[in-house]
Structures are given as structure tokens and as C-alpha cells.
Amino acid sequence: MAVNGDIIDAQCNALTGGTSRIPAVIAPSGYRIVGISYCQAGSQVCDEYIARVEIGSIDNATDCSLGGYGDYIGLSTDIDPGETLPVYVTNAIAYSGDQCGIWVDWNSNGDFTDDVPVTMGGDEFVFQANITCPADALTGPHRMRIRIHWTNENTTPCENAYYGEVEDYTLIVNPSGTTIVTGTMASGESDCHSALQTIQVAGSGTQFQVETGASVLLVAGQKISCLPGTKVFHGGYLRGYISPDHPWCTQPSLPGVVISADEEKLALNPLPACKIYPNPTSGVFTVQMNEEMRSAPVFLELRGLHGELVKSMHSEGNTHLNFSLENRPTGVYFLRILSGKNASTFKIIRSK
């Protein structure tokens, strides 16, 4: 499934529920960037128009835009699920019959009409409303549309009016304060969970399993707790980090670590010493197994800084294994080695 911002190499003309289709690239050839298409809106005459918008960290004073539409989606403010923010819209040339409407696409489907309506107050000089973020709103950016127009036209988010102006802004929904993670991540699957404060993995009789070949990233503002019921299979990948400023499902500048709470320690011991050379490496590096590792099956997994899998392999009885980063960019990589109940992660530096 492609989501907003992904790149797809085919054009989708139609979707039919319950059916499977293989898309084909049509002219023009090449990839497409998946985005959300919104209805056009504007006006013919700038008489009354939006002179200033104030909400959260946004305070934008403007003249009337060409065509009666101002694209200010680059201006954004944060909002938490369940939080209410006051918004003030100043009318430049006020008439007693002027009206104002505000819409937010909380479910990010490109349609303003199926979301919670915003009730307007204030007067024709400064319109005022309280915008409440739904508790189940999707994390991330959402389009907010504001319209001022003369009274003899309907207050709608789309199409052109004769008088007035339309402006678009962005509201960014923060992750919820607490996220509870349960279920099973199957081989080949990857996911990310984030929370402003706490992530709780399993616990209270629930389970969370990361199977071999699966990858999970946890990002919390304060605490990550892996409670009883948390299980990571050999070759599975569970990583977490604390980001007090802005917990998003993106990679931090420093590598994350696997975190478990005191309630349940992962039953893995540090791996007996083995040699990895050269490190830093300009391309190829070697893992030299110790005597104990040569007598048992060993699983090795090399991943990039963003958690992407570079290479994985099983080994038994080998003394040396070679890995190549020759076609990979410079930077930090992580090599995880598991042998029996022993496991360790090594930082590999790919130099120029």
C-alpha cells in the first residue's frame, strides 16, 4: 500500500474493492510521487479577504492572493489528539454579511466534507473558532482550509466564489501520549510506533512478537517498556530510542538501542569476542569467528542506519565471513550476530 509521500512507478486510474490488479506504467513513463489532491478554491474579486490568520505558532498577515487563493501549507503548527486550539481570522475589508468557514482534513483523504465541522463565531471583523483534534486523528500533517466570502454564496471548501479569499495551512498531529504495542510482526514486515510520552510493549496478558526477518522501530518522548509477553526471534529486529523534543517515526542522528524494562530482560547474553576488520572499511570487511561460534549455527544481519536490511546470512563451521559495502553510501551500519543464546550488535563505519 502506498501512502502520502511514497514513490510509485505506476499510475492508478481506478480502484475496485475486493479485487487485485497489477498496475502498468502509462505515459509519461517514470515514477509518480503519491500525494493527496484537493479541490480547487478561490475567488474572482478581492474585496473582503483574509488579512491575518492566528492559530498555535502560526501568525500570518497577508494581502489578498492572486486568484483569491493563498497556498500557505508550508506554515504549520502542532496539535495533540484531543487538544483544542483557538483560531482567529481577520477580515481585511469587513461587511456585515461576510461569512467564514474552516475545514480540516483529519483523515487525510483529500475530502473536507467528511470530517468534523468547525463551528464559527466572532464577528465580520475577526472570525473566531475552536479547532479540536479528534482523538483518532492520523499522526502527521493535515490540510486546513479557511474561506472568507460574501453572504450571498454558500460556505463551502471548494470551487470559486465571486468575492473573498481562500487560504490553506497545515496542522501537524503529534503522536498520542501513550502507545500500547501488541500483535505479531511476520517475516518481511516492518513497522514504527511512536508516542509523546510512553510506549508499552505487550504486558497485561497480551503479546508482541517480532519474527525472524521482521523489523520494528519504537520512538518515545520519555519511556519505552518491554513487558512480559515481548518476544524477539533470532533474526528479528526490535529497536527503540528516546526523543524528548519530537517523537516521530524517523531515524535519529544517533543509533537506537534495544530497550527492555526491568519486568522482563531479553534472554540473550553478550556474544563471545570475535574480530571484525577492517573497521572503518572502504568497502569489504571480514568477521572472524571465535572457537565457540564455529561449533554452532550463527545468524548475521547487516542493516543501515534507518533499519533497512543490507544482507543477512546463516553460517555454521566457518572461520571467516566477508561482507561488502562497496556499492553502499558512506556512513554508519550495524551488524547483529546471534549464536545460540548469545547476541551482540557491532557498529560498522563505511568510509570513503
Per residue in 134-188, pLDDT (tens digit) is 887 877 889 999 999 998 777 899 989 999 999 999 999 887 777 888 999 988 7
Burial of 141 (0-12, 13-18, 19+ CB in 10 A): middle
Could you read off the pLDDT of 24-41 as tens digits, one per residue? 545 455 544 456 789 999
Could you read off the pLDDT of 302-346 as tens digits, one per residue? 888 766 778 888 887 788 889 999 888 888 888 888 776 677 778
More confident residue, 54 or 299: 54
Architecture of the domain spanning 275-350: Sandwich (2.60)
**Cα gap 139→52, rounded to integer Å:** 27
Other CB atoms within 10 A of residue 35 CB: 10
Q: Where in the chain is the domain with CATH 2.70.50.30?
A: 41-173
Q: Where in the chain is the domain with CATH 2.60.40.3080?
A: 275-350
**Cα gap 284→197, rounded to integer Å:** 41
Average pLDDT over residues 65-79: 92
Q: How far, in Å, are 28, 48, 60, 100 from residue 119 at the CA level? A: 44, 20, 21, 10
Average pLDDT over residues 204-225: 86
CATH annotation of 41-173? 2.70.50.30
Sheet holding 331-339, edge to edge: 309-315, 298-304, 331-339, 342-350
